[in-house]
Amino acid sequence: MVLISKIIKKFMESVYYLSSIMVIYIIKFFFYMKNDLHWKLLIQVFALTGKQNKKVFHIYI
């Protein structure tokens, strides 16, 4: 049971890492678009991605 939880934790960390990279690329993409609707969608997506990504977000902005 402990082993399974460790595997799940590692998997979640890698998912957070990948999603944070994706968020950075999405932000860079939307900087070129400057569309109000797209910004609202981006904020909604970003709010769902988790606290760990906010650290990365602040570094890149």
Determine the structural domain holding residue 11 and report its residue range.
2-60
To the nearest whole number, what is the mean pLDDT of the chain?
Answer: 69
Phi then psi dihedrals of residue 22, to 5 deg = -60, -40
Q: Residue 59 is which amino acid? A: I
For the chain, percent of residues with pLDDT exceeding 90: 0
> pTM of the prediction?
0.34
State residue 60's pLDDT score. 45
Q: What's the domain count of the chain?
A: 1
Phi then psi dihedrals of residue 53, to 5 deg = -70, -25
Answer whether residue 6 shows pLDDT above 80.
Answer: yes
CA distances from 42 to 3, 10, 13, 48 (A): 36, 26, 22, 10
